[in-house]
Amino acid sequence: MTTQGFVVTHAKDAQFDKGLRSFFEYRDLGLKQATGGRVTASVIRAAGGQDFSSQAHFHKTQFQLVYVLKGWIEFEYEGQGVVRLEAGSCVHQPPEIRHRELGHSHDVELLEVVLPADFDTVTVDDVNPKEA
């Protein structure tokens, strides 16, 4: 039996920090350290008093899952169009799918799980580029 990598986090001890997007706050759930960088998981919530803005982009990942805990969020996805996610909605974002956020509720909270823990985000000109 092994206990290596075992981690527990509790909401009462939650600390939210700034992260990838200035209009969100991120709570690290401790999986990056527990898995040696293979996985990261965060609770993400709207940051009060921050202006929303979003550019089309994609993430260099192997796996990305977003589950809405509270509120709503809308994305535009390459080849899918506009997708509105509400509390209880879940989306698997395939590696490198172009997308952009269109908006979110003031109380939105998300659970995000990504492999690997350290990944790049690449800004692009458009979600659905014109074919040459």
Report residue 78's pLDDT band, with 50, 70 and 90 as the boundaries. very high
Helices in the chain by DSSP H: which ranges? 31-34
The pLDDT value recorded for residue 51 is: 67
Domain 29-123: what homologous superfamily?
A: Jelly Rolls (2.60.120.10)
Q: Answer whether residue 122 shows pLDDT above 60.
A: yes
Half-sphere exposure of 17 (CA within 13 A, CB side): 7
Q: Which of 43-52, 95-104, 122-131 has the highest mean pLDDT?
A: 95-104
| pLDDT tens string 1-58 | 567 788 888 887 788 877 666 778 999 999 999 999 999 999 999 887 666 778 899 9
Strands (E), the chain: 17-18, 24-28, 40-46, 57-60, 63-70, 72-77, 81-86, 90-92, 99-104, 109-115, 120-123
The whole-model pTM stands at: 0.87
- For the chain, the average pLDDT equals 89
Residues 6+ apart with CB under 8 A from 76: 56, 82, 83, 99, 100, 102, 127
% pLDDT > 90, the chain: 66
Give the pLDDT band (50/70/90) at residue 130.
low
Other C-beta atoms closer than 10 Å to the C-beta of 58 total 20
Q: What is the mean pLDDT of residues 83-89?
A: 97
